[in-house]
Structure 1
Amino acid sequence: MNHTVHIAIQIVPITDKPHYAIIDKAIEVIDRSGVSYKVGAMETVMQGDYDTLMRVAKEAQQACLEAGADEVAVTLKVHGRKHGNVSWDEKGIDRGR
């Protein structure tokens, strides 16, 4: 995919430790990456080029493991186009970060 896409990521830590602190580590990775993103109640949606976003998704998963998760269950959703970019504006979504 050569255009801007949206990738939604949901990471569910499997551990007996508090989940939110672990999930926050994933969001920190996304924030530091510099990609545009929006945190929702059930997933975080990122906007950018496919390869960059997949790299960030991998790093976010690793951050959760390093923060104490024994395992992670991850759901990814990709919205891409053959011709043209996917954008926050067309969906009526505030840009987020």
Structure 2
Amino acid sequence: MGESLVSIQIIPKTKNGEDVIPYVDEAISIIQDSGIKYEVHPLETTMEGNLEHLFDIIRRMNERMIEMGSKNVISQIKVLYQPDGIHMDDLTGKYK
């Protein structure tokens, strides 16, 4: 069980106004490859785990956007930190 839920919306500034979807897909693949629990939603992706590890994933996502040619990246982040543990289902399970 992790002590944090972190939601991220990543908004890369693309070259020449290119479509951002390939960039977002690449950012999500970094989350997928990390092995953590996550859920993709229409406007953001929520991750569950250790806060330091989740922030490291966000760092890698931002760096990858620059490697792909983005001039800059805006990352909108929401954090729920609960030292005794938290699961996404604790908050949304009743809706499933």
Give TM class, smaller chain: 0.7 to 0.9
Q: What displacement does 1:93 show?
A: 4.2
Deviation at 1:68, TM superposition (A): 2.2
In structure 1, the partner of 2:87 is 87
Q: Greater CA deviation, 10-19 or 40-49?
A: 10-19
Matching of residue 61 in structure 1 with residue 62 in structure 2: yes
SS at match of 2:8: strand
1:70 and 1:79, CA in 2 relative to 1: closer, same or farther beyond 3 A? same
Q: Secondary structure at the match of 1:65?
A: helix
The aligned counterpart of 1:31 is 32
Residue identity over aligned pairs, in percent, reads 26
Are the counterparts in 2 of residues 25 and 67 from structure 1 also a CA contact under 8 Å?
no
Structure 1 residue ranges (4+ consecutive) displaced by more than 4 angstroms after TM superposition = none
What is the distance in 1 between the residues matched to 2:93 and 2:47?
12
Counterparts of 1:14-25 in structure 2, within 5 Å, are 14-15=13-14, 16-25=17-26
Q: What is the RMSD of the two structures over their aligned residues, measured on CA atoms? A: 1.6
Query: SS in structure 1 opposite 2:10?
Result: strand
**Where do 5+ consecutive residues of structure 2 fail to align?**
none
Give the drift of 1:89.
2.1
Cα 1:10–1:93 shift into 2, 3 Å: farther
Match of 1:7 in 2: 6
Deviations 1:34-93 (A, max 9, x none): 111111111110000011000001001111111221111111110012x41111221124
After superposition, give the CA deviation of every residue in 1:7-59 in whole Å (9 maximum; x if it has no partner). Answer: 01111011222100011110011100111111111111000001100000100
TM-score after normalising by structure 2:
0.86
